[in-house]
Structure 1
Amino acid sequence: MLELKNIKKSFGSRTIIDGLDLAIPEGSILAIVGPSGGGKTTLLRTLAGLESIDSGDFLLDGQKFNPMNLKEQEQVVGVVFQDFQLFPHLSVFENVTLAPKLVLKEDKEVYTKKAQQLAEQLGLAVLLNQYPYQLSGGQKQRVAIARAMAMNPRVLAYDEPTSALDPALRQQVENLILDLKKQGVTQIVVTHDLDFAKNIADNLLEVSPVK
């Protein structure tokens, strides 16, 4: 279980997150819904160790951890950002395997097998040798998810996964997230789309900008 206790974060005089408490059971989906300025993306960045908090505690299975101080091999939360952040000069296979190869120091046989399994799982098997410019938005998103999962995070988080997607792709994303839940993947979904959130979430957190 991932827990957040009294998390606070400010930028200058502006309070972004004010005393947030959360418990995310293993294998569940938490959707965080609200308008821009509510701290949703900032929360994901703190969980991923990309932003520090001012105070509070993060716990995994009852043990405190600091996302900023984790070894690279100990990723707790993997984040799929809104713009996907794929490397344009690398193939799908290379995008997925780069971090396992360089950070996890996995052998070629290990990271190749993992990439193939993730590609099968996410419907990317025929795309491994293609490059990001050859992919649709939905396909790029699946590659970004595979890349995050390749680092073996305990929790997979998404920043606005349905942003700018048409209804058919939105449904695909919904199905994918629910399929991953069936496989036991713990997920956090940040979205402005309340209907989408209600369709996928076990628990719903509605946030608004701190006054």
Structure 2
Amino acid sequence: MLQIKGLNKSFGKKQVINQLDLDIPTGSILTVVGPSGGGKTTFLRILAGLETADSGVFTLDGQAFSPKDLKEHEQVVGVVFQDFQLFPHLSVFENITLAPKLVLKETKEVYTRKAEALAEQLGITELLNSYPYQLSGGQKQRVALARAMAMDPKVLAYDEPTSALDPALRQQVEEMILSLKKQGVTQIVVTHDLAFAKNIADNLLEVVPNN
């Protein structure tokens, strides 16, 4: 279980996260819903160690940790950001395997096997030799997810995974997230799409901007 107690974050005089307490059971899906300015993306960036919380305690299965101070090879939360952040000069295979190779120090045999297994799981096997400019938005999202999963995080998080997707792709994303849940993957989904959030959520958190 991922637990967050007393999380606070301000930018100047604007407090975007105020005394947030969350319990996220292992294998469950938490959706965080609200308009822009409510602190949803900031919350994900804190979990990923990209922003520093003003205060708050994080525990995973009873063990305290600091997202900002994790060692390179440790990753509690892997985040798939809205803009995917794929390296345009690298193939899909290279995007997926770069961090396992450089950070986890995996051998070529290990990271290749992992990339092929993730590609099969996410339906992108035929794209491994393609480059980001050749991919659709939905395909880029699956590559970004495979890249996050390749670091073996304990929790997967998504920033607006259905943004700018048509209804068919939106349905595919929903099915993908629910499929990962069946495999026991703990997931956090940040979205403005309330209907989508309700379809997938075990627990739903609605946030409003602090004025």
| Runs of 5+ unmatched residues, structure 1 | none
Give the alignment of 1:184-195 within 5 angstroms: 184-195=184-195
Q: In 2, Cα distance between the equivalents of 1:133 and 1:46?
A: 29
> Which 4+ stretches in 1 moved above 6 angstroms?
none
2:106 is the counterpart of 1:113: no
Q: Classify the secondary structure of the residue corresponding to 2:118.
A: helix
Q: In 2, Cα distance between the equivalents of 1:53 and 1:68?
A: 9
2:55 is the counterpart of 1:70: no
Q: Which residue of 2 aligns with 1:58?
A: 58
Q: Classify the secondary structure of the residue corresponding to 1:147.
A: helix
Q: In 2, Cα distance between the equivalents of 1:57 and 1:173?
A: 31
TM-score, structure 1 normalization: 0.99
C-alpha displacement of 1:63? 1.4
C-alpha displacement of 1:64? 1.1
Q: In 2, Cα distance between the equivalents of 1:125 and 1:181?
A: 21
Q: In 1, Cα distance between the equivalents of 2:93 and 2:22?
A: 35
Q: In 1, Cα distance between the equivalents of 2:13 and 2:62?
A: 32
Q: Which residue of 2 aligns with 1:24?
A: 24
Identity of aligned residues (%): 79
Q: Classify the secondary structure of the residue corresponding to 1:168.
A: helix
Q: In 2, Cα distance between the equivalents of 1:25 and 1:14?
A: 30
C-alpha displacement of 1:56? 1.2
Q: In 1, Cα distance between the equivalents of 2:63 and 2:13?
A: 31
TM-score, structure 2 normalization: 0.99
Aligned residues: 211
Give the alignment of 1:75-86 within 5 angstroms: 75-86=75-86
Q: Which residue of 2 aligns with 1:150?
A: 150
Q: Classify the secondary structure of the residue corresponding to 1:20.
A: strand
| Runs of 5+ unmatched residues, structure 2 | none
